[in-house]
Amino acid sequence: MSVATHTHISALIRHRRSIKPVDMDSSRAVERTLLTTILEDATWAPTHGLTEPWKFIVHQGGARQRLAETMQCVYQATTPANEFREDKMKKMGENPLLAPVVIACVMERRGGAKIPEVEEIEAVACALQNLQLSATAAGLGCYWSSPPLLGTREFAEWLQIGVEDRCVGLIYLGWPKSGLNWPRSVRQPVESKTRWCDE
């Protein structure tokens, strides 16, 4: 790989930000061909045993309304009264309609006892980072959301996923609203996260 390509990839990785659905243009569709390329890029993630343990359930158009209603129902049914928050409930009803695409990203258990579950989840996380980087390179905004209700039996049943499978996140995708100030972020100096062992 050339140095120029590395420079571009490094810049892309650092440029990716979580773009909230409220900052996406809900009226501008994402072309199916572009979505397919982004999903294909996701699948080039590494997987132990080449199990490719992902499933992407893509919600667009009216399916987003059904997703929003389901999240609200499941949240209401599974949240203890003392933890229930009206603002969260409201957001669940709104967010899927603010983004043109919402992808329920599922770890489908494929490796059996040979591959630990955590490694299947890790592989899906790698795929979702690929997905986000590919989307960012295309100019799309993306946002990984993981409300606790994703782990409930009720939501898993609605998604029609297996008992050993797990929805690890909702990825919201959409074109950023024009004029959006791209969010800034910071990271700790890598030296504080690194121990060099040279001798």
Would you report the helix, strand and coil content of the chain in percent, each value rounded to 5? 50, 15, 35
Residue 193 CA to chain centroid, in angstroms? 25
Q: Which is nearer to ligand FMN, 96 or 169 (CB)?
A: 169
Q: How far is the CB of 184 from ligand FMN (least distance, A)?
A: 9
Least CB distance to ligand FMN at residue 29 (A): 24
Give CA–CA dist 100/182, Å, rounded: 19
Considering the complex, what minimum distance in angstroms separates the CB of residue 3 from ligand FMN? 25
Residue 29 or 122: the one with the smaller Cβ distance to ligand FMN is: 122
Question: Residue numbers of the site for ligand FMN (CB under 6 A)?
Answer: 17-18, 144-147, 169, 183, 185
> Of 147 and 174, which CB lies nearer to ligand FMN in the complex structure?
147
Is residue 121 within 8 A of residue 168, CB to CB? The reply is yes
Contact 38, 131 (CB under 8 A): yes
What 8-state DSSP symbol labels residue 109? -
CB of 143 to ligand FMN, least distance (A): 7
Look up residue 32 and give its two tokens.
Answer: 């199916």
Q: Smallest gap, in angstroms, from Cβ of residue 2 to ligand FMN?
A: 27
Q: Can you give the length of the chain in residues?
A: 199
Which residue's CB is nearer to ligand FMN, number 30 or number 105? 105
From 57, 43, 42, 189, select the one nearest 129 (Cα to Cα).
42
Kindly tell me which of 17 and 48 has the beta carbon lying closer to ligand FMN: 17
